[in-house]
Structure 1
Amino acid sequence: MRVTVGDVIAIGPGKIALLEALDATGSITAAAKSLDMSYRRAWLLIDETNRALKQPAVATAAGGAKGGGSALTDSGRALISLYRQIEETALQACKPEIKQLLKLLDS
Structure 2
Amino acid sequence: MAGVPETGLGHLRVTLTETAYIGPGRADLLEGIAETGSISAAGKRMGMSYKRAWSLVQALNEGFGAPLVEASRGGAAQGGAHLTDLGTEVLTRYRAMQARTAEAIAGDVAVLRALIADMSGKK
TM interval, shorter chain, is 0.7 to 0.9
CA RMSD of aligned residues (A): 2.0
Cα deviation digits, residues 35-69 of structure 1 (max 9, x gap): 11100110011111111113311011123586321
Task: Give the count of matched residue pairs.
Answer: 105
Check 1:9–1:101 CA distance in 2 against 1; reply closer, same or farther (3 A cut): farther
Deviation at 1:75, TM superposition (A): 0.7
Q: Distance in 2 between matches of 1:15 and 1:74?
A: 16
Q: Distance in 2 between matches of 1:29 and 1:65?
A: 12
Structure number, greater radius of gyration: 2
- Which residues of structure 2 form unaligned runs of 5+? 1-11
- Which residues of structure 1 form unaligned runs of 5+? none
Which residue in 2 is equivalent to 1:74?
A: 85
Check 1:9–1:53 CA distance in 2 against 1; reply closer, same or farther (3 A cut): closer
Greater strand fraction, Structure 1 or Structure 2:
1
- What TM-score, normalized to structure 1? 0.85
- What TM-score, normalized to structure 2? 0.75
Which residue in 2 is equivalent to 1:95?
A: 106
Q: 2:95 aligns with which of 84, 98, 101?
A: 84
Instruction: Check whether the contact 1:2–1:9 (CA below 8 A) recurs between aligned residues.
Output: no
Which residue in 2 is equivalent to 1:35?
A: 46
Instruction: Kindly indicate whether structure 1 or structure 2 has the higher relative contact order, using CA contacts under 8 Å at least 6 residues apart.
Output: 2
